[in-house]
A and B are shown apart, each in its own frame.
Chain A
Amino acid sequence: MTHSSRRSFLKAGSGLLIGFSMSDSSIVPRLFAADTAANPAPGKLDSWLRVEKDGTVKVFTGKVEIGMGVWTGLTQVVAEELDVPISRVEMIMGDTAETPDQGGVGGSTSISNGARPIRNAAASGRYVLLQMASAKLGVAADQLQVKDGVVSAKNDASKNISYAALAGGADLNDTLKVSGGGFALNVEGRGKPKDPSTYTVVGQEIPRLDLAPKFLGTAKFITDVRVDGMLHGRVIRPASAGAMVVSVDDSAAKKISGYKQTVAKSNFVGVLADNEWGAVRAAKEVKVTWSNPATVFPEDVYQHIRNTKPKTTRDGVKKGDAAGALASAAKKIEASYEWPFQAHATMGPGCGVADVKPDGVTTIWSGAQKPHALQEGIAQMLQVPKERVRVIWVEDAGSYGRAGYEDTAADAALLSQAAGKPVRVQWSRADMTQWGGKGPPVVVDLAAGLDAQGAVTALQLTSRALSGTEVQPQPSTAGNLLAAQLIGVTNTNVGDEFVQWGGDTANYNFPNIRSTGHIIPALYTSQSPLRTMHLRDPNGPAGTFAGESFMDELAAAANADPIEFRLRYLDDPRAKKALTTAAEHAKWDARPSPKRPAANGDILTGRGVAYALRGGTHVATVAEVEVDRKTGAVRVKKLVCAHDCGLIVNPGAVRGTVMANLVQSTSRVLMEEVTFDRSNVTSIDWKTYPIARWSDIPEVEVILLNHPEAPSSGAGEPSSRPTAAAINNAVFDATGVRFRQAPLTPAKIKAGLQKLA
């Protein structure tokens, strides 16, 4: 069996090219009329890897690179198990016709879960190759060794054969046992992975394979995909939530050079031109009259959240009798914390290319995090069988969750279907910032009881929030996609995500705990610019801003040092180690907060800490801040972060990710808040949705705590989590004023300080 028959749709002469690989992204494969493209079966070893004639090992994964180094980490895992050089491993990522469905990327699971089937498949590949070598060389398999893709007898190096000579270009023809699905998809075969204590490639600080080309300008992003005969599209957004198209007049656009047509379908309006500038101009010239807006967004979102009857309520942790212990506590402390709507506001605002053939055969190029789910959503929107849609992932700017690249692809698909030609849609800045993903606002009410000695006897958490999954992270239904909503498809796949003690906060070992989460109905359910979607570490920064700030309130009430106080209620040695390591590197000034503010001078200084546990990863962050008493400005001077994610596959990639996470999460707590009026979002660009700039950036120090004996947990999101509270606690330490609403803008700080004076 030759590899060309590995997947039935790869027909000779159909014009299809095999593989859109990371190393040769100038290739633009596409489906042609009547082609179909089923997902590769995970139970076949050949669905995961193949040895080429030149010895290259091709690896097929449903994981994709979103700017944190997963491509490199997974390459190391394969190189380790197969004993081939990293340069000989080629990753094919996120192509629904070429790669198994691993649920795409999300939840910081690409290494922790995603590497497992790849590691097991590579180990099984090695097993099969050693069996073949054993037969060829006449040496028992356990007497063979592998170096740089060459198998040789341990006691006679002259007896050797390369992987390429054994199986180059041929199938390995082995079956794997499949379990789980999505992120949890796993396969197990005849080969067992190596003992981590013997690793020589995993754990090494290999430079990220994607980065040099990005500095040299040779990298290609989704924006660089160009298909023969492609038109450029732009979408004209509704004037507000609830606005319906009354009329469309394209007479002025007709004068623009290269203008092709306007596509109007229900409330979806787009323009097409044969050149990009023509599309930009035409989108401005087409006159759309919209009906009156729906007045659906509240003036005060926190008041709205508090006053609205929840649609769903769920109990979280229930330990002991929190209500009873609170009633009999020597001291009772209560506080309420608020976290705003925030935007993904990706650097590249989103780009997608679609080629929808008249018979429904469709190729989509998209940077969306979950290509296999997108295949289903697009197929449903276009009303064609899933096998007729091929989604090919091509890297876009960092997405931090479900930002909107899925919607960009859907825009392109609708326009291509209407035009009968391939269409590239580049979102504008406003398409992304105003109409892209939003993380939900959250209100967290906390109450705790202390006994006479300052020990915590009870903790009660009640959260009220908009669900962060009004649009699910998996775009596997048409209604998930903004374009489909605009043509009248209802989004029926809606999730409830509760903010709970222990899930979104650290889980301190108090004797009595009660946690309850409420979700209120979406502000507006269709084609809303305020629809919520997963934003990096969904609910983590919000919950931990509340939980860890409140923990600091309890420490202050007990007149205890914030780190020593936390250690009293943590049992896990890895949690304690993260806190003590951060303290040591930050030269932590152990004493209760607040510091006695200096009597004079405008600048107050303070330090704060926060701890978080996310998916098995422990993070402790210490912040040092300066607060300008006159202006209320908070300047974060330094962040020290101790990070334990179990076995580290690539320390450089983890360190870079954590460093960036610290900066991004500083931005989120200091300045990020989506603004809106009664019917539309008013954050539309970098001026109206400012994020941290050069002068806002703290010095960062990252300490990685490696645990080769423990499985890898995630590193993509956990260090986003404690920053907000660490900074907020440092502000309290500096000023003696406790702030309970993010972001910590100068106006809020100034008002808080004035209240004190």
Chain B
Amino acid sequence: MRAALKVNGKAHVLNDVDPECPLLYVLRDNLAMHNPRFGCGLGQCGACTVLVNNVPTRSCMLPMARANGREVVTLDGIGTPEHPHPVQTAFIEEQAAQCGYCMNGWVLSAKALLDKHPRPTDEQMRTAFEGLVCRCGSHAGVLNAVRRAAGARRTA
């Protein structure tokens, strides 16, 4: 099929793509992007998270037939090294990772959570993060980063 995507604000047209091909492979292989990342291909871990209409979405489970025409934002699309997103700044300040391979899921889920609930409750955090895996165990740092980002928003 012929598919159109807008990724981090840039329009792409793919002339010959398998409608069943998950968005993940199109982003990484066809568009040569480094985000998101492959973790399980089963929708169980969140390493492949992208934002579709600001909703954290597992790109390994989203076939191109359904991704066609969507606006996609990846981890490197929410901020830049010069102007990081406040959530990225909070993660940097809290040093909230070990290997960092899973961070597409955590940072983007945190951004979407805080956009929706600027002062998230424990339950809202649980809903946002329970589906994500971090094998290194960086969760305590992530919690600190989310609290910091929420606090920064309040004082901004």
Contacts and interface: CB of A to CB of B under 8 A. Distances in A.
A218 B96 CA distance: 16
B9 to A, nearest CB: 14
A277 B37 contact: no
Interface in A624-667: 652-653, 656-657, 659-664, 666-667
B114 interface: no
A657 B98 contact: yes
Q: Which of A68, A346, A656, A667 neighbours the largest number of chain B CB atoms within 10 Å of its CB?
A: A656
A215 B91 contact: yes
Contacts of A664: 135-137
B40 A429 contact: yes
A631 B92 CA distance: 39
Contacts of B133: 347, 686, 691, 693
A49 B7 CA distance: 42
Nearest to A212: B92
A465 interface: no
Interface in A380-415: 395-398, 400
B95 A208 contact: yes
Interface stretch (A142-150, A219-227, A288-296): A219-227
A571 to B, nearest CB: 33
Contacts of B134: 347
Contacts of B28: 223, 276
Contact of B34 (A224, A661, A663): A224
A66 B75 CA distance: 21
A657 B95 CA distance: 11
A88 B129 CA distance: 38
Contacts of B137: 659-664, 666-667, 692, 697
A67 interface: yes
Contacts of B38: 223, 348-349, 426
Contacts of A428: 41
A327 interface: no
Contacts of B37: 221, 223, 348
B71 interface: no
B5 interface: no
A686 B99 contact: no
Contacts of A699: 140
Nearest to A657: B98
Interface residues of B, number: 58
Contacts of A695: 126, 130
A92 to B, nearest CB: 20
Interface in A683-719: 685-687, 691-695, 697, 699-700
Interface in A213-242: 213-221, 223-224, 226, 232
B24 to A, nearest CB: 9
A667 B137 CA distance: 9
A687 B133 CA distance: 11
B88 interface: yes
Nearest to B101: A397
B90 to A, nearest CB: 9
Interface string B11-30: 00000101001100100111
A39 interface: no
Interface in B68-115: 74-77, 79-81, 84, 88, 91-92, 95-104, 107
A207 interface: yes
A397 B135 contact: yes
B100 A219 contact: yes
Interface residues of A, number: 63
Contact of B140 (A207, A280, A700): A700
A179 interface: no
Given A664-B135, A686-B44, A656 B76 contact: no
B92 A210 contact: no
A257 interface: yes
Contacts of B118: none
B120 interface: no
Which of A221, A280, A663, A685 has the most chain B CB within a 10 Å cutoff? Answer: A663
B32 interface: yes
Contacts of A397: 99, 101-102, 135
Nearest to B93: A207
A207 B95 contact: yes
B155 to A, nearest CB: 21
Scoring A398, A661, A664 by chain B CB atoms within 10 A of each residue's CB, the highest score goes to A398
Interface in B116-155: 125-126, 129-141, 143
B51 interface: no
A429 B80 contact: no
Contact of A214 (B29, B84, B100, B125): B100
A428 B60 CA distance: 12
A226 B32 CA distance: 9
B25 A398 contact: no
Given A349-B39, A349-B40, A428-B41, A215 B135 contact: no
B95 to A, nearest CB: 5
A663 B75 contact: no
A226 B99 CA distance: 21
Contacts of B125: 694
27 contacts: A215-B96, A215-B100, A217-B74, A217-B76, A221-B34, A221-B101, A223-B28, A226-B32, A276-B28, A277-B22, A347-B134, A348-B38, A348-B39, A348-B47, A396-B101, A398-B135, A429-B42, A656-B97, A656-B138, A659-B141, A662-B140, A666-B137, A667-B137, A687-B44, A692-B139, A699-B140, A700-B140
Interface of B: 16, 18, 21-22, 25, 28-30, 32, 34-35, 37-42, 44-45, 47, 74-77, 79-81, 84, 88, 91-92, 95-104, 107, 125-126, 129-141, 143
Given A215-B103, A664-B135, 10 more contacts: A67-B98, A67-B136, A216-B76, A276-B28, A349-B39, A428-B41, A429-B42, A656-B141, A659-B140, A686-B44
